[in-house]
Amino acid sequence: FHLAQFFKIILNKMDLVSEEEVAEVERRIRDLNKHAPILKCQNSQVDLGEIMNVGAFDLNRVLESEPDFLDPDAEHVHDETVTSVGISREGECDLAKLNAWFSKLLQEKGVDIYRMKGVLAIKDSAEKFVFQGVHMLFEAAPLKPWDEGETRVNKLVFIGKRLDRAELEAQFSSCMV
């Protein structure tokens, strides 16, 4: 889908294809993206150090080019089969519940989630957390402290196919404290 924009590419199930097939896939990838490292794995076993905390996401840089990046109401649809769901909830999230939900969501729907992004308020944390993901890849990091007196509002945006707004809202609500 956005292969040309990926900063890392993971090829899974390498045990199920021949060396010739791998070479052909790599050739096609290089036609679209000449620079991204290609990580090969089996059974989704990837060294997390290769894909997490790589500094690929800089909220300030994104906001410069996409000022409505965090606006859940800024829902742009370019393909009728692709939809977006924005969620905005005041309050704080339970980190363990949130981690479990994101993990399950990516396992079950990761192929259909083209992009997700947002800001989260985590219980017992003074910092805003930003997250972003593409398909099965997910990264989250603290951004900056909440301002004194600032209302803690969680903002999430999902872009993909077959997204069920009510289901996503209910699942996220179950992560709230």
Q: pLDDT by residue (tens digit) across 68-124?
A: 766 666 655 455 678 899 999 999 999 999 989 998 998 888 888 888 999 999 999
Spelled out in words, what is the top-level CATH class assigned to the domain 56-173? alpha beta
Residue pair 98/175 in contact by the 8 Å Cβ criterion: yes
Rounded mean pLDDT, 12-21: 89
- The pLDDT, as a whole number, for residue 150 is 94
Domain regions of the chain by residue span: 3-50, 56-173
pLDDT above 80 for 50: no
- Are the CB atoms for 4 and 50 separated by under 8 Å? no
Helix (H, G, I), strand (E, B) or coil at 57: coil
- Report the distance separating Cα 105 and Cα 14, nearest Å: 24
If pLDDT is split at 50, 70 and 90, which confidence band does 65 have? low
Q: What is the pLDDT of residues 119-175, one digit of tens each?
A: 999 999 999 999 888 877 888 888 899 999 999 999 999 999 889 999 999 999 999
Q: Running DSSP on this structure, what letter comes out for residue 176?
A: B
Can you list the alpha helix ranges (DSSP code H) found in the chain?
19-32, 48-51, 59-65, 95-109, 165-173
pTM beyond 0.75, yes or no: no
In single-letter form, the type of residue at position 135 comes to H
Residue 145: the pLDDT is 94
Q: How many angstroms separate the Cα of 115 from the Cα of each of 23, 31, 149, 152? A: 28, 23, 31, 23
Q: What is the pLDDT at residue 1?
A: 42
The residue type at 106: L
